[in-house]
Chains A and B, each alone.
Chain A
Amino acid sequence: MNLTRRDALALGLGATAAAFLPWRATAAAEDEMATFTGGAEAGSGDITLTAPEIAENGNTVPVSVNAPGAVAIAVFATGNPTPGVATFNFGPLAGSQSASTRIRLAGTQDVVAIAKLADGSFIKAASTVKVTIGGCGG
């Protein structure tokens, strides 16, 4: 989502709404993703991003990504002040093109994985991870 000026105004007017609105891709995240793809559009394809729907602990959220045939996979926490999480490069001898890590999330946001394929094209997958203050169980 791109924040238009009108949206930004609405945010401002919504008093303190910004504190707990889901944090979407910031300009910094858009820039970093564009840098990785060299500005190319990432399509959909054989890439699986596994992340919890709701984080048990926002300070250490397990994510894993699998993209057969990828030469590199980059993971972005699009709502973090520093969106780039990691870039995994796979050489020709790699047994599989998958990786797991734990990331810290500043709040509810989309985690995005972009894979660069051997032919130079890009594919991506995204998953919304909610960071909540918790509450009441049934």
Chain B
Amino acid sequence: MISRRDFLQVSMAASALVGASGFGNWSRLAAQQALTQDQLLDFDTFGNVSLIHVTDIHAQLKPIYFREPSINIGVGGNKGAVPHVTGADFRKLYGIEENSPSHYALSAGDFSALGQAYGKVGGLDRMATVINAIRAARPDALLLDGGDTWHGSYTCYHTEGQDMVNVMNALKPDAMTFHWEFTLGSERVREIVGDLPFAALGANIFDAEWDEPSEDFAPYQFFERGGVKIAVIGQAFPYMPIANPGWMFPEYSFGIRTERMQQVVDEVKAMGAELVVLLSHNGFDVDKKMAGLVSGIDVILTGHTHDALPEPVLVGETILIASGSNGKFVSRVDLDVRDGRMMGFRHKLIPIFSDVIEPDKEVAALIDEQRAPYEADMSEVIGQTDSLLYRRGNFNGTWDDLICDALISEREADIAMSPGVRWGPSLLPGDDITREDIWNATSMTYGKAYRSEMTGEFIRTIMEDVADNIFNPDPYYQQGGDMVRMGGLGYRIDITKPQGERISELTLLKTGEKLDPAKNYVVAGWASVNEATEGPQIWDVVEDHIRKQGTITLQPNTSVQVIGA
């Protein structure tokens, strides 16, 4: 926890910046005094092209708290490389002052206290204000959405993505690519895409039967901006039918398809593209590898792995931009494109401090309109939390500890499994837990909580399989999520080992006994990719559990021992 002295330093920083006293009224005001909207938006317009990047919003229309990970381990060539640098190391790397607004927005550490001081982040109405301000400086700026937009909230689930479509349309994007959108089912996706007033891109979206590029999604779209011919190529999440239920979109095949990407880049270059932008949902390390293999891409707007980086990463002559998640950031990239090539760039990752940035009135009204029919249901208070609830991190987060507790007690299981997804906002100690909060952490179209028997050996096989999706040293074999969260089970993981040898010391926590490979255990989990999974919806399971508990207090989770980090 942050000490009182730290709080004062926050206030001091505030007064130093605006020359006013911040003492005695630091809460929220600190953020407002330390920062102004003008400061957040300050940018010397540069060159002749501006790109605005938003990604992985996960249907967060309203401001939220979102704690960045404290554990995000890089493997192979990416060990110790961004975005696999967290906490104090991250702040040191980028010269970010302790307890500063950037500390709060970009890194973990003292999150509960800083959250109190700086307030919530995000909100599409605030993002609209930022986007409009950029457009005021550069009217023909391109707004590009990296996907994971039509998923992740109570209203998004009940409207099958229509709330997000309506609000995003008001922001007027120029192009978009996809991931969780497909979990609405391919029919619904085609229905929405058919009416979208902007380009729906995915060079790697193929027809599964013919193994040819799908006719439902264009590989790229040309734009002429600032006298520059720009090609924006889309790359959807490559491992959709593996990481998500393929039976929901059986007509499509995905994959990384490096050769295909090179062909498409060559094609747009041959058509006269002076600037090639890849709007990608590959995940950061996959994009980094692809940037080294495919020549001719100037800018990769990365998504999927939810990383927020205050500076671009350079691979050869390609710049990679990582714009965070859950509506927390908007990236602005200004480019100088002359004589058919990118000569320079200027970049700013703009944190959306919701108490500092004025909401756009029209978009705020539109958001309220989407929420109105559901407001009463969503706002019902189910319980309170004494603990910080968050999800991000390679191994566990308190939200998943809570979900696993709910699965074990409500479903009478020995062991619980919760998927290592990276979405889901945080709640601060003392916050109410509303139904909306529960849905923000669990909402999906395949959320049924199964209960089944598995042998100790099979449980270990699952864990080895998932671990390899994260810690395979070759990024092309990674799927971009975090480790499956285990409830009621302790284990050791050596991330440097190959698949099949990483997981050991599996211990059933309730008895302290080692897991018997041959014995059957009752396992409860959710988000199975298998069709016809049976059980109650996970949000109902969690709601029942929280209601019984009243106030949630979680002990620090020490059940995972990590080696080789």
Contacts from A to B (Cβ < 8 Å): 14-17, 19-22, 48, 50, 52-54, 56-57, 62, 100, 108, 128, 130, 132-138
Contacts and interface: CB of A to CB of B under 8 A. Distances in A.
B476 interface: yes
18 contacts: A16-B517, A19-B461, A20-B461, A20-B500, A54-B242, A54-B479, A57-B241, A134-B242, A135-B469, A135-B479, A135-B529, A136-B469, A136-B479, A136-B484, A137-B179, A137-B180, A137-B479, A138-B305
Nearest to A60: B208
Given A15-B517, A20-B499, A130-B468, 11 more contacts: A16-B517, A22-B499, A53-B256, A53-B474, A56-B242, A56-B246, A62-B211, A130-B477, A132-B469, A135-B466, A136-B419
A89 B374 CA distance: 64
A15 to B, nearest CB: 7
A22 B464 CA distance: 12
A17 B501 contact: yes
A10 to B, nearest CB: 10
A50 B259 CA distance: 8
A103 to B, nearest CB: 13
B243 A135 contact: yes
A137 B244 contact: yes
Given A17-B501, A53-B477, A137 B465 contact: no
- Of the candidates A15, A16, A54, A108, the one having the most CB atoms from chain B within 10 angstroms of its own CB is A54
B66 interface: no
B211 A100 contact: yes
B419 A14 contact: no
Contacts of B253: 56, 62
Contacts of B476: 53
Contacts of A100: 211
B255 A14 contact: no
Contacts of B254: 56
Contacts of A108: 499
Contacts of B283: 138
B274 interface: no
B118 interface: no
B217 interface: no
Contacts of A16: 457, 517
A123 to B, nearest CB: 18
Contact of A134 (B211, B237, B243, B305): B243
A136 B527 contact: yes
B314 interface: no
A52 B476 CA distance: 10
Nearest to B239: A54
A50 B255 CA distance: 11
Contacts of B517: 15-16
B465 A132 contact: yes
B501 A14 contact: yes
A136 B421 contact: yes
A130 B256 CA distance: 13
- Of the candidates A17, A20, A50, A56, the one having the most CB atoms from chain B within 10 angstroms of its own CB is A56
A69 to B, nearest CB: 19
Interface of B: 56, 179-180, 208, 211, 237, 239-244, 246, 253-256, 259, 283, 304-306, 419-423, 457, 461-462, 464-466, 468-469, 472, 474, 476-477, 479-482, 484, 498-501, 517, 527, 529
A138 B211 contact: no
A135 B457 contact: no
- Of the candidates A50, A62, A100, A133, the one having the most CB atoms from chain B within 10 angstroms of its own CB is A133
A7 to B, nearest CB: 13
B420 A136 contact: yes
Contacts of A134: 242-243, 465, 529
B393 to A, nearest CB: 13
A133 to B, nearest CB: 5
A45 to B, nearest CB: 17
A133 B482 contact: no
A21 to B, nearest CB: 5
A16 B459 CA distance: 13
A137 B246 CA distance: 12
B241 A137 contact: no
A16 B419 CA distance: 25
B246 A57 contact: yes
A48 to B, nearest CB: 8
A137 B500 contact: no
Closest 7 CB pairs of A and B: A137-B243, A136-B419, A136-B481, A138-B422, A138-B480, A56-B241, A53-B476
Contacts of B529: 134-135
B418 to A, nearest CB: 9
Nearest to B423: A138
A3 to B, nearest CB: 15
Contact of A133 (B306, B465, B472, B501): B465
B93 to A, nearest CB: 23
Contacts of B527: 136
A17 to B, nearest CB: 5
Given A20-B465, A21-B500, A136 B243 contact: yes
A138 B479 CA distance: 8
Contact of B498 (A22, A57, A133): A22
Contact of B421 (A17, A50, A62, A137): A137
A79 to B, nearest CB: 14
Nearest to A53: B476
A51 to B, nearest CB: 9
B468 A132 contact: yes
A134 B421 CA distance: 13
B284 to A, nearest CB: 10
- Of the candidates B56, B259, B306, B465, the one having the most CB atoms from chain A within 10 angstroms of its own CB is B465
Contacts of B423: 138
A48 B243 CA distance: 28
B239 A136 contact: no
A48 B480 CA distance: 27
Contacts of A137: 179-180, 237, 239-240, 243-244, 419, 421, 479-481
Contacts of A130: 468, 472, 477
Contacts of B462: 133, 135
B481 A135 contact: yes
Contacts of B481: 135-138
Contacts of B180: 137
A108 B242 CA distance: 14
B501 A135 contact: no
